[in-house]
Structure 1
């Protein structure tokens, strides 16, 4: 994903996570920010923007102290 613009990158990450949530109803935790950074070769802020999209859509929620859960 290094060739994408930052705006496209965060949307692509959000799309992939959204699809994974929909395909795996038993999924409770999202990958860590650092894992997503490494997987997609993007910055922390890009991953946080993707997670914010999922939060706005009601699909994910941040955990105290870090990490993200899939909203039931």
Structure 2
């Protein structure tokens, strides 16, 4: 993984973390496709960002796709 790829997924994770903190009523995260388009990155980059949030206990994957904010 290049340093640019690493900084991209960490930046996406940071942005999503901030959105979760700024909007306590937020229940769903944007779709992987929406995040890919918004940040002009690959699916794997977005999935790495979501994995960071999952590891931190902020998000959880839904069966069949999508991600929720953990209460």
TM-score, length-normalised on structure 1?
Answer: 0.93
Summarize deviations over 1:29-63 as a string: whole Å, max 9, x none.
00000000000000000000000000000000000
Give the whole-Å Cα distance in 2 for the aligned partners of 1:33 and 1:51. Answer: 9
Q: Cα RMSD between the aligned structures?
A: 2.5
Structure 1, unmatched stretches of 5+, are: none
Structure 2, unmatched stretches of 5+, are: none
TM-score, length-normalised on structure 2?
Answer: 0.94
After TM superposition, give the deviation of residue 3 of structure 1 in Å: 11
